[in-house]
Structure 1
Amino acid sequence: MDDKICLICGDGAIGKNFGSVSCESCKAFFRRNAAKREEYVCLYIKKCKIGLNTRKFCRTCRLEKCFDVGMKEDWILNDEQREERRLKIEAKRLKRNKNADKCEDKLETKHMSNESADENNNLKIDVLNTEINDWTTGPQSMDHEVLATDTSNSIDSLGSGYESALIPVVRPVLVINNNFNASEHQFFSELLSAISQLHLNVDPVAIHELKTFEEYRHSMLPKMESDFKVMVNVCKSLHTFRSVCDSDRMALFKPGTREALMLHAFGHFYDHGNQCWNINMDDGTVYVLKLDVLKQMPGNTYSVAKRLLYNIAHIMDSDHYIIQLVLIPILLFNPERPNLTHKDLV
């Protein structure tokens, strides 16, 4: 494939992916976004030129070009199919080495662990429902306390918020391993299901550009309230978060949610080509906020935001869910948060 080029962007191709010759970047892009064809909106009537240097500018036109050159959505494997294929490949390799029994044991263990996890969840469902009800209706209810105080404060302190989102979390370095045990598999399954609530599936009905920071503040209040409620549900969906005591939940939730939503907005709504955010609202309105508007904010918010956008651009091009799957848990379960009672358990 040395003499082949990607039919979408013109970069060097790695082979034929989903029915068309493409590079690694366009292959990953199509796999992540093929099912979202109806969600994306081009601001330039679908006439964007897609090339090596412009492929990140418009997701709509890039996706349309993927389909135009022959990529097929039904060729994309889901997680279960990919895992099944991986195990089959491993089984063949082990069979060649006369170790096929080892692979069969792994498959059997995988199914047994899933069945065991399901039985364990059924036994604990009453207890977990009680915990959720106590959390949402008790005197320290997250919905009321957070939405009553933190929504407006978060918007008023966006300048310092950008800085706080860059504070490093001290954690031991782990060796990457794609063979999860039952509890890890359950956690990531819960997280994937939970963060899907952050992605709206609303057809756009109007586009409005926000030209001042004051206009942004006023327009984003409903969005902030809605997103805070979503994050409450995200946290409720995570068994690991529910296992933390009430006081530590609040200590983790408040700062962690602000930073997690900020990073979600940075990675999901930002258009690098036009240097603006296209923010989808619940009512179908799309607010366009240009990066230059941040120059109206106090301090060095603009320069910090620009640097953060540059740093996460490469991550988002590799995998759309990396920020949610990796950074949201890190931000929520930060043992360095103040007022934590049981830091060793976080």
Structure 2
Amino acid sequence: MCVLQIRMSEEMEELSPLGDSGHGDGSEEETEEDDEPKICQVCGDKSTGYHFNAMTCEGCKGFFRRAMKRPAQLNCPFQNACVITKSNRRQCQSCRLQKCLSIGMKRELIMSDEAVEKRRMQIKRKRMHEEPVTLSPQQEAVIQELLTAHQKTFDMTCAQFIQFRPLDRDQKSISEYSGEPKTSRYSNASAHKPPPEDAVQRTANFTSFSSSSLSFQSLENKERKWLKGAIFTSLPHFTDLTTYMIKNVINFSKTLAMFRSLIIEDQISLLKGATLEILLIHFNMLFNEVTGIWECGPLQYCLDDVMRAGFQHHLLDPMMSFHYALRKLHLHEEEYVLMQAISLFSPDRPGVTHHNVVDRNQETLALTLKTYIEAKRAEPEKHLLYPKIMACLTEMRSMNEEYTKQVLKIQDIQPEMSPLLLEIISKDSC
């Protein structure tokens, strides 16, 4: 290090109230009860207390600590008799050090770098403990508005589901047709064993049923053959179900003040982009990660039911991995609704014109979610929850595209999809 850098470093340290080592350097510090000003016994500057056994200023405290750690020998350019003052204390380091030693400053009181860092971390933890993270009144209001909107528009008892056209399970699913392990609600629970820990990262895993002797290519051929002659017996029920759920999402969005404040064209674009993702979040709240069953009040759905509606493995394998991974996070209702709102207010949806407004809303929601986790969660790994939720939101984007493709394919084979769903997945922005 050059002389100029050393000098600048020393001057900055002397100006800093913490000097080279802060107040965690192992020095003895005492505060006098009276108001009489104290002076540094080395240079005469204003003292900040006892450091390394002597009354000194922050500058001389830092100098002594550095000098004791510096291996180089200090030499006086004059006659080893320099008078050290506030104004000239940096001119002769040798005499300044001798003055420090003569007034009783002790090298053994200097803490090691490791001890200093440990003490700093203790102070940091203490401050964090004393100042817990809390939600602001504005964030509390946002969460309450979302919860109210969600509870008004989404019935967790699913009582309305019995009014839909009946769920017909007579038709074989592709898994039964192709000879794969049966995955219905009546099968062994091992067929629904959750995927590995990293399932959330493997959004494009189209071959998760690796236990099957069929290759993915042969399975795809089986699906094509099945699709040609299939009657999707579950499709009427799922059409009614999807229409009902989409209306709930629209009503949920219209209840939010920040959504209503947008122009109608942007409202439509955001709904088209996010509705299918919000439906995934809704169904995750009803998913049993032990059995692999969606428990919807009076009705229960398994993977075969979804297959009987015409959906194929390119969507269903990642979807199952998604549901296991998200459900494993055991989100609070507040976290679920914030996740829905973050998905809704995505400024990069096709057709959105006021990107900045939507982006600010999403930023507000994301920060609220992060603060909620910090304030309300107690588990040690809570700092990992926010990025995991963000990863799930990203994963839903991939499934959204594949879902759209499969709906259009099913509609070509058996035109029973609801006009509302077809409108949601249409490319037009209005």
| Pairwise same-fold verdict (TM > 0.5) | no
TM-score range, shorter chain: 0.3 to 0.5
TM-score of the aligned structures, taking structure 1 as reference length: 0.42
TM-score of the aligned structures, taking structure 2 as reference length: 0.34
